[in-house]
């Protein structure tokens, strides 16, 4: 008797998730897209001394093992996936609570770029979890600061100084016109008023800089549609 032929399993596209500055892949713990994608969680690697973002991004690309992947990055991770996409071909690139041009940086970051004020931040400030949580997730952390601290696994001062300096001095002005940008109207780190409007911008009502955690239900419902 002939055995029925089994259907060939469709290979899922790789979806790589890059957390924000100082954050661990745990920030994606409430996002489940495994039915639609082969999901890979990326984490930060130790930067070389004064390593250019281009070189760092190239090293991060060594962790991508799918052809034509989708890269999604949150906050500073959104900047990183854009830099990675300059080295490898990507099906789509998505940034969440992030910026696609240095023109979108906050005024304080632009001032720091010219004055190097960020270099004067004391090591004690960087090691202070409460201050770090406010810097990474914005003022929305409020009374939930203890909850957000559990997501901050990258606390090495050398990494943090590198990351802050790299963010403030990011040079990109022009961006991929088809870059998918998801941003909240209550983001205090990268205010929506500074964000350049494009057909691929998705604005979330009441979305804060930490909306990947707070509004995870929206991402679980809508992200697959956006990426299809």
pLDDT in tens, 4-60: 444 445 689 999 999 999 999 999 999 999 999 999 999 999 999 999 999 999 999
Exposure string of 104-119, with b = 16+ CB inside 10 Å and e = fewer, is bbbeebeebbeeeebe
DSSP H or E segment with residue 92: strand 92-96
Does pTM surpass 0.85? Answer: yes
Q: Which domains does the chain have, with CATH numbers?
A: 13-227 (3.40.50.1820)
* pLDDT tens figures, 177-224: 999 999 999 999 999 999 999 999 999 999 999 999 989 999 999 999
* Distance between CA atoms of residues 108 and 217, nearest Å: 32
Which of 202, 213, 78 is CA-nearest to residue 145? 213
More confident residue, 161 or 63: 63
């Amino acid at each position: 008797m002939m055995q029925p032929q089994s259907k060939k399993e469709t290979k899922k596209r790789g979806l790589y998730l890059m957390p924000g500055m100082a954050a661990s892949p745990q920030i994606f713990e409430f996002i489940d897209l495994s039915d639609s994608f082969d999901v890979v969680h990326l984490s930060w690697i130790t930067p070389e001394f004064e390593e250019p973002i281009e070189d760092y991004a190239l090293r991060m690309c060594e962790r991508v093992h799918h052809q034509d992947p989708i890269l999604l990055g949150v906050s500073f991770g959104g900047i990183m996936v854009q830099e990675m996409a300059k080295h490898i071909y990507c099906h789509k690139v998505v940034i969440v609570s992030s910026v696609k041009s240095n023109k979108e940086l906050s005024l304080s970051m632009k001032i720091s770029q010219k004055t190097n004020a960020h270099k004067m931040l004391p090591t004690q400030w960087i090691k202070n979890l409460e201050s770090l949580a406010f810097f990474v997730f914005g003022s929305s952390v409020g009374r939930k600061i203890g909850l957000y601290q559990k997501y901050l696994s990258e606390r090495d001062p050398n990494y943090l100084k590198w990351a802050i300096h790299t963010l403030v001095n990011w040079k990109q002005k022009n961006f991929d016109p088809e870059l998918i940008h998801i941003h909240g109207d209550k983001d205090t780190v990268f205010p929506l008023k500074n964000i350049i409007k494009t057909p691929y911008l998705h604005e979330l009502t009441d979305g804060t800089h930490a909306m990947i955690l707070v509004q995870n239900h929206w991402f679980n419902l809508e992200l697959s549609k956006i990426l299809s």
